[in-house]
């Protein structure tokens, strides 16, 4: 599948997500745990917000394996941001990698990433496209199930006026519901695995979801605290205090410190701009 990490909190250096932790995203590109296949070598991507310059996140994507990218190592040294998304890809189909198929995906201020896949996507693709409004339809540049899922999210964001974390949560919930319905109508019974992360540059939401019975789906962990610090190759979350905190949402724990909580099956977590989290079931 894939692996992703989202950070929201006080500005942090990209290296604290991508390089320094024992199970950093670069490590996960090579040696992920809890997957049948430990390699996520089919490209990677990073999105980070620089609010003083632009509401749109900066995007850096490459078909190179993350462990091999000098440019990623360089950016990790000098990029700092309060809101970062990082993704390493294990392509469902091999061959034909392109930057357009790498996560995160972006549209305006929104950034999105996915770990998992849509069951029977080849059967669902055409009715899914038909269901989209023109702006969401036009946003698709590649041919991954993940980008089509993001188009559903954008479609929901555009249909319903609003903003803030509840607006994001509603769009994510509806996108998952639409995929599930499309699967029932047009699919052949293959389950979907939809671990998703979505942000507008201020708030963020993420979910762990599967339509497979008797399986909890791909793993997803949440870790909250005051600040995430790395020193001499050991990273840990400092205990929370009152006021502004930080949140890490990650396919697997980046570090061995306690406090990484597995998100339950078919639930979502909402993160406010202040770094406050709450979770709820994701029912479709």
Q: Closest Cα partner for 104 from 229, 7, 211? A: 7
Residue partners of 68: CB distance under 8 A and separation at least 6:
none
User: Does 80 engage in binding with a copy of itself (CB under 8 A)?
Assistant: yes
Is the CB of residue 223 less than 8 Å from the CB of residue 241? no
Q: Closest Cα partner for 82 from 252, 245, 191, 224? A: 245
- Supply the minimum distance, in Å, between the C-beta of residue 156 and a copy of itself: 19
User: Does 13 engage in binding with a copy of itself (CB under 8 A)?
Assistant: yes
Which residue lies nearer to a copy of itself by CB, 91 or 179?
91
Q: Considering only 45-53, 160-168, 186-194, 240-248, which stretch makes contact with a copy of itself by CB under 8 A?
A: 45-53
Is the CB of residue 271 less than 8 Å from the CB of residue 83? no
Question: What does the alpha-carbon distance between residue 136 and residue 129 come to, in Å, rounded to a whole number?
Answer: 9
Which residue lies nearer to a copy of itself by CB, 49 or 209?
49
Q: Which of 68, 92, 272, 276 binds a copy of itself (CB under 8 A)?
A: 68
- Supply the minimum distance, in Å, between the C-beta of residue 20 and a copy of itself: 14
Is the CB of residue 87 less than 8 Å from the CB of residue 4? yes
Q: Which of 35, 69, 174, 192 binds a copy of itself (CB under 8 A)?
A: 69
Helices (H), 12-120: 15-18, 25-31, 70-78
How far apart, in Å, are the Cα atoms of 50 and each of 93, 150, 151, 185?
34, 22, 24, 42
Which residue lies nearer to a copy of itself by CB, 25 or 207?
25
Which residue lies nearer to a copy of itself by CB, 63 or 206?
63
User: Does 158 engage in binding with a copy of itself (CB under 8 A)?
Assistant: no
Helices (H), 14-105: 15-18, 25-31, 70-78
- Supply the minimum distance, in Å, between the C-beta of residue 222 and a copy of itself: 28
Q: Which of 4, 7, 44, 67 binds a copy of itself (CB under 8 A)?
A: 67
Applying the rule CB under 8 A, the residues between 92 and 151 that interact with a copy of itself are 94-101, 122, 125-126, 129, 134, 137-138, 140-143
Question: What does the alpha-carbon distance between residue 200 and residue 107 come to, in Å, rounded to a whole number?
Answer: 10
Please tell me the count of residues contacting a copy of itself according to CB under 8 A: 49
Q: Which residues does the annotation mark as catalytic?
A: 2
User: Does 63 engage in binding with a copy of itself (CB under 8 A)?
Assistant: yes
| 3-state secondary structure at position 138 | helix
Query: How many angstroms separate the most distant Cα atoms in the chain?
Result: 53
Which residue lies nearer to a copy of itself by CB, 45 or 183?
45
Residues at the site binding a copy of itself, with contacts judged by CB under 8 A: 13, 30, 39, 41-42, 48, 50, 53-54, 56, 58-65, 67-71, 73-75, 77-78, 80, 91, 94-101, 122, 125-126, 129, 134, 137-138, 140-143
């Amino acid at each position: 599948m894939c692996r992703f990490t989202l950070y929201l909190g006080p500005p942090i250096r990209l290296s604290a997500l991508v390089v320094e932790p024992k199970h950093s995203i670069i490590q996960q590109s090579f040696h992920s745990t809890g997957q049948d296949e430990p390699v996520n070598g089919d490209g990677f991507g990073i999105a980070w917000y620089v609010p003083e310059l632009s509401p749109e996140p900066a995007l850096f994507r490459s078909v190179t394996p993350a462990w091999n990218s000098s440019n990623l190592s360089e950016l990790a040294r000098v990029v700092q941001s309060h809101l970062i998304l990082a993704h390493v890809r294990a392509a469902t189909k091999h061959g034909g990698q392109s930057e357009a198929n790498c996560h995160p995906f972006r549209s305006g201020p929104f950034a999105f990433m996915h770990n998992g896949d849509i069951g029977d996507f080849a059967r669902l693709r055409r009715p899914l496209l038909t269901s989209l409004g023109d702006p969401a339809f036009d946003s698709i540049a590649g041919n991954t199930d993940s980008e089509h899922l993001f188009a559903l999210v954008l479609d929901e964001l555009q249909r319903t006026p609003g903003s803030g974390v509840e607006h994001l949560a509603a769009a994510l919930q509806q996108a998952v519901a639409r995929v599930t319905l499309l699967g029932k109508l047009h699919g052949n019974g293959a389950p979907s695995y939809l671990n998703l992360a979505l942000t507008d540059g201020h708030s963020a939401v993420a979910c762990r979801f599967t339509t497979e019975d008797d399986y909890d789906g791909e793993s997803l962990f949440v870790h909250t605290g005051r600040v995430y610090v790395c020193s001499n190759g050991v990273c840990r979350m400092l205990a929370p205090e009152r006021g502004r905190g930080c949140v890490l949402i990650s396919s697997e724990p980046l570090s061995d410190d306690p406090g990484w909580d597995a998100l339950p099956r078919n639930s979502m977590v909402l993160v406010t701009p202040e770094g406050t989290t709450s979770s709820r079931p994701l029912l479709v």
